[in-house]
Amino acid sequence: MKDMHCRDVGMNCDFVARGSTEQEIMDQAGRHAQQAHNMTVTPELADKVKGLIHDESSDAHRQSMARR
Ligand SMILES: [Zn+2]
């Protein structure tokens, strides 16, 4: 599984989008951004979010968890 931590985008938020594909995560993150943060996902934001998707077994994930 892969995931993306909203906190990594720069928000003070514990939301984590999880999925087996980048597209699943982007769908969840897009809905969350609109509902929770009243944000529109621009192409720039989508690029940033895509760059923050990581595997749950990766070092990047452990760092995201440690930041809580
Ligand atoms: Zn959030």
Domain spans, the chain: 2-66
End-to-end CA distance of the chain: 20
pLDDT digits (tens, 9 = 90+) for 23-66: 999 999 999 999 999 999 999 999 999 999 999 999 999 999 99
pLDDT at 68 over 80: no
CA of 58 to the centre of ligand 1 (A): 21
The reported pLDDT for the residue numbered 67 is 78
Non-local CB neighbours of 5 within 8 Å, separated by 6+ positions: 15, 16, 52, 64, 67
The reported pLDDT for the residue numbered 25 is 98
pLDDT digits (tens, 9 = 90+) for 6-21: 999 999 999 999 999 9
CA of 11 to the centre of ligand 1 (A): 6
CA of 31 to the centre of ligand 1 (A): 10
CA of 19 to the centre of ligand 1 (A): 16
The distance between the two most distant Cα atoms of the chain, rounded to a whole number of Å, is 31
Q: What is the 3-state secondary structure (H, E, C) of 8-39?
A: HHCCCCCCEEEECCHHHHHHHHHHHHHHHHCC
**The residue to which tokens 């514990």 are assigned:** 14
